[in-house]
């Protein structure tokens, strides 16, 4: 029995070490963002917000932020607009070729982004269209769609369709049923899908490097070009802002969604 | 409920159209383009010839990069497995009230920008990074050990990106195992270790193989970590494609390299699907 306990302790210790390994670099970025030195390196000599101030005055980064926000939001809207009905079809209906189509729509996750990047660019070139924001948006929608499908389907499985049937049998019109029953039940799934699409779009680098023009650079692409010179404290500061933003938004959204779902689930 | 048979197709049509028009056709274009010729003027001429493929395999330069990519992918898979199995097992067995929070922590990196996670290693491994700083200060070394811009650094970045995928895949598989099986084995006289080796480990293999496949495939297509953490010798196939397409605008040759990468992955995924079934991976991904 004594041996068993020590084995379990080792497993715990190992797990803790993996956590430390996973988060040490991320914590280092946040800490170094407050280092007032010219080079964003250890040792820390003091504590200052000066790189954040400098960041907020950098207009190209602010522009990139704006681009990323607009692109991410539009991607989220379009990807869920086409992804949620597809997920409904897969979960609520039986039809021929269902499994095949489902696999086909999700399989693009496995296609390297570089290949997707080349493919869409080549296609646009063949159509003799210039790179544009619309193309970047289309690309991001295709890129995020499989993830939206996965997430929304996983959530939809948990929603019983008996509720809708009950409403209909009690005399509600199809529209009433949708408005009163289906939509509120579906809302958390739609919300989760949108959040996921937004994050993936906001985060994407490789494919975006192929598709973006000088005018519609996103934050990660901007960071990538800043890295060409060297790692500066400003990059650490930008990294810290991004970490806090991208971690707190889904955590907060998850909390809101849970409350929202609890309030609506019969 | 009586349903109109066309209804699911109506719901599916926007997604199918988008994927077909913007993904399937463009990828076919890449394959077609890989047979085209590039005139000295830089014009692309429609043709059907294997010159681009011949060029790829003509000398060792390009195949070495392909082999490097596969080697790095295998190393990453191996290290992810070693680092990932035990935490996944911990989640499966723990009865701690902290478990949901620990699980959220594992998934947290998914939400943190990939490029920031990659570049964050510069702060750790660089000449004036955390490790060298601590070693210099403690007097163990007198000059910084170069740890950045080599294959090890690239793999560090890759693991940090892919480890959560591996942990989740293994955990989903472990979580499906009936715990009473191990109890039964132990009541029949198995030791804890025997019960693990004979029951838990074999039953978790579907998750292990799904995790390995996913990590392998994602590593093969990776572009950022070799760019940011690697040196000149650590180029991977995706970097090569980017260089040919964006750098030298050699579309036919770039398409040929893309096709080679795609073929390699299709072959691997197809083989995997024959024997294991691809849905295991999707099941784990939807938990993310």
Structural tokens at position B222: 């990776």
Give the per-residue pLDDT at A1: 47
Q: Which residues of B touch A65 (CB under 8 A)?
A: none
Angle at B281 between CA A221 and CA B228, to 5 degrees: 25
CB distance A224–B115 less than 8 Å?
yes
Q: How far off is chain B from A31, nearest CA to CA, in Å?
A: 10
Q: How many CB atoms lie within 10 A of CB B254?
A: 28
Question: Residue B164: left (phi > 0), alpha (psi -120 to 50), or beta?
Answer: alpha
Residue A44: is its pLDDT beyond 50? yes
Coil, strand or helix at A127: coil
Q: How far off is chain B from A225, nearest CA to CA, in Å?
A: 11
Mean pLDDT over each residue of chain B, to the nearest integer: 88
Q: What is the largest CA-CA distance in chain A?
A: 73
Give the mean model confidence (pLDDT) for residues B255-279: 88
Q: How many CB atoms lie within 10 A of CB B52?
A: 23
Q: What are phi and psi of B37, to 5 degrees?
A: -105, 150
User: Bridge-partner residues for B44, per DSSP?
Assistant: B38
Nearest to B286 by CA among A190, A147, A261, A98: A147
List pLDDT tens digits, range A200-226: 999 899 999 999 888 888 999 999 988
Q: Name the residue ranges covered by the structural domains of chain B.
A: 52-97+154-286
Give the per-residue pLDDT at B224: 92
Q: Which residues of B touch A61 (CB under 8 A)?
A: none
List pLDDT tens digits, range B66-116: 999 999 999 999 999 999 999 999 999 888 888 888 888 888 888 888 899
Mutate which: B9, B26, B52, B104, vs A, most A CBs within 10 A: B26
Give the per-residue pLDDT at B40: 78
Residue A164: is its pLDDT beyond 90? no
In CATH, which superfamily holds the domain spanning B52-97+154-286? Answer: MetI-like (1.10.3720.10)
Q: Rounded distance, CA B99 to CA A155, Å? A: 21
List pLDDT tens digits, range A46-55: 777 888 888 8
Q: Name the residue ranges covered by the structural domains of chain A.
A: 58-263
Nearest CA in chain A to B251: A122
The minimal CB distance from A154 to the residues B113, B114, B286 is found for: B286
Q: How many CB atoms lie within 10 A of CB B202?
A: 11
CATH 1.10.3720.10 fits A58-263, yes or no: yes
Q: Rounded distance, CA A202 to CA A69, Å? A: 7
Q: CA-CA distances (angstroms) from residue A83 to A111, A144, B14, B22?
A: 19, 9, 8, 15
Q: Rounded distance, CA A233 to CA A55, Å? A: 10
Residue B247: HSE in the Cβ half-sphere, 13 Å Cα cutoff: 9
Residue numbers of B between 259 and 278 with CB closer than 8 Å to A: 261-262, 265, 269, 278
Q: Which residues of B touch A21 (CB under 8 A)?
A: 83
Sign of CA dihedral B173, B174, B175, B181: positive
Q: What is the pTM of this model?
A: 0.89
Q: Rounded distance, CA A60 to CA A71, Å? A: 16
This model of the complex carries an ipTM of 0.87
Give the mean model confidence (pLDDT) for residues A86-99: 87
Q: How many CB atoms lie within 10 A of CB A116?
A: 25
């Amino acid at each position: 029995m004594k041996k068993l306990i020590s084995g379990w302790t080792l497993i715990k210790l190992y797990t803790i070490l993996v956590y430390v390994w996973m988060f040490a670099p991320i914590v280092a970025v946040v800490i170094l963002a407050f280092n007032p030195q010219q080079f964003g390196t250890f040792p820390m000599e003091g504590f200052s917000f000066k790189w954040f101030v400098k960041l907020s005055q950098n207009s190209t980064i602010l522009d990139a932020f704006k681009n990323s926000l607009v692109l991410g939001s539009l991607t989220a809207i379009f990807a869920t607009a086409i992804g949620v009905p597809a997920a409904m079809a897969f979960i609520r209906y039986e039809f021929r070729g269902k499994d095949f189509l489902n696999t086909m729509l999700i399989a693009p996750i496995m296609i390297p982004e570089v290949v997707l990047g080349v493919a869409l660019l080549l296609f646009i070139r063949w159509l003799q269209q210039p790179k544009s924001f619309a193309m970047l948006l289309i690309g991001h929608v295709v890129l995020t769609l499989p993830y939206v499908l996965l997430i929304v389907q996983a959530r939809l499985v948990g929603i019983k369709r008996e509720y809708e049937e009950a409403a209909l049998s009690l005399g509600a019109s199809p529209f009433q049923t949708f408005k009163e029953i289906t939509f509120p039940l579906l809302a958390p799934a739609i919300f989760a899908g949108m959040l996921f699409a937004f994050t993936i779009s906001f985060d994407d680098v490789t494919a975006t490097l192929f598709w973006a023009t000088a005018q519609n650079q996103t934050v990660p692409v901007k960071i990538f070009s800043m890295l060409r010179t060297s790692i500066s404290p400003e990059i650490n500061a930008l990294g810290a802002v991004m970490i806090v933003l991208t971690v707190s938004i889904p955590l907060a959204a998850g909390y809101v969604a849970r409350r929202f779902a609890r309030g609506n689930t019969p | 409920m009586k349903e109109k048979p066309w209804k699911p197709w109506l719901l599916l049509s926007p997604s199918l159209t988008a994927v077909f028009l913007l993904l399937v056709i463009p990828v076919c274009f890449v394959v077609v383009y890989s047979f085209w010729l590039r005139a000295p003027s830089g014009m692309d001429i429609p043709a059907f010839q294997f010159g681009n493929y011949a060029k790829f395999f003509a000398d060792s330069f390009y195949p070495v990069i392909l082999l490097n990519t596969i080697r790095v992918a295998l190393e990453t898979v191996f290290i992810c497995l070693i680092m990932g199995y035990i935490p996944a097992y911990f989640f499966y067995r723990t009865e701690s009230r902290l478990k949901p929070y620990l699980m959220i922590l594992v998934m947290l990196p998914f939400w943190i920008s990939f490029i920031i996670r990659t570049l964050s290693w510069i702060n750790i491994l660089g000449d004036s990074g955390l490790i060298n700083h601590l070693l210099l200060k403690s007097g163990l070394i007198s000059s910084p050990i170069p740890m950045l811009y080599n294959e090890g650094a690239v793999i560090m970045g890759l693991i940090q990106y892919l480890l959560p995928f591996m942990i989740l895949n293994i955990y989903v598989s472990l979580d499906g195992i009936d715990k009473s099986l191990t109890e039964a084995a132990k009541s029949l006289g198995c030791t804890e270790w025997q019960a693990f080796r004979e029951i838990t480990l074999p039953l978790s293999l579907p998750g292990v193989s799904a995790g390995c496949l996913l990590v392998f495939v994602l590593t093969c297509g990776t572009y950022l970590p070799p760019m940011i953490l690697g040196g000149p010798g650590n180029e991977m196939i995706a970097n090569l494609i980017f260089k040919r397409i964006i750098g030298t605008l050699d579309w036919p040759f770039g398409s040929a390299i893309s096709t080679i990468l795609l073929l390699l992955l299709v072959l691997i995924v197809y083989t995997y699907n024959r024997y294991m079934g691809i849905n295991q991976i999707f099941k784990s991904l939807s938990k993310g």
